């Protein structure tokens, strides 16, 4: 079991940066694949980024590639999402998630790969 708490959201202008954090409880954080998803009003929750258990591999949605960076500090049980060059279309509630997805890394892109979810943090980007 792991509990996840996101922080770092807020209201920013287009072009600004934000860093989201996800603090995890439990002693097995380093064993989990960790992901970030987001959900805009009226839309499905969508994949943003994922990190392998070691942090050695990262995966991104095409819409954020080159602007967002996922990282993790296993010693601090914390996942991060550095978001640069923010756009109004990045406005959403951002969720972190943890899981033990089997199979290939392609599964990391899907909500079904994750067993635990945080409550989310709101990111609003004004134009």
pLDDT in tens, 82-105: 999 999 999 999 999 999 887 788
Per-residue pLDDT at 20: 98
- Across 24-45, average pLDDT: 92
Per-residue pLDDT at 41: 93
Per-residue pLDDT at 105: 86
The confidence band for 19, taking pLDDT boundaries of 50, 70 and 90, is very high
Question: What DSSP string describes 45-85?
Answer: -EEEEEE-TTSS-EEE-TTTTTTEEEEEETTTTEEEEEE-S
**Residue 67: closest CA among 44, 35, 90:** 90
**Weakest mean pLDDT among 27-31, 42-46, 97-101:** 27-31
Q: Report how far Cα 13 is from the mean position of its chain's Cα atoms.
A: 20
The confidence band for 26, taking pLDDT boundaries of 50, 70 and 90, is confident
The confidence band for 79, taking pLDDT boundaries of 50, 70 and 90, is very high
Per-residue pLDDT at 62: 97
Strand partners, 47: 37
Computed over every residue of the chain, the mean pLDDT equals: 94
């Amino acid at each position: 079991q792991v509990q996840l708490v996101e922080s770092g959201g807020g209201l920013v202008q287009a072009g600004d940066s934000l860093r989201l954090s996800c603090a995890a409880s439990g002693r097995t954080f380093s064993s989990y694949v960790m992901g970030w998803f987001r959900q805009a009003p009226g839309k499905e929750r969508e994949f943003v980024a994922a990190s392998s258990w070691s942090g050695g591999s990262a995966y991104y949605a095409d819409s954020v590639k080159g602007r967002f960076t996922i990282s993790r500090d296993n010693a601090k049980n914390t996942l991060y999402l550095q978001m640069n060059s923010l756009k109004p279309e990045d406005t959403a509630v951002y969720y972190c998630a943890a899981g033990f997805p089997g199979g290939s890394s392609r599964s990391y892109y899907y909500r079904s790969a994750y067993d635990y979810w945080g409550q989310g943090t709101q990111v609003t980007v004004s134009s």
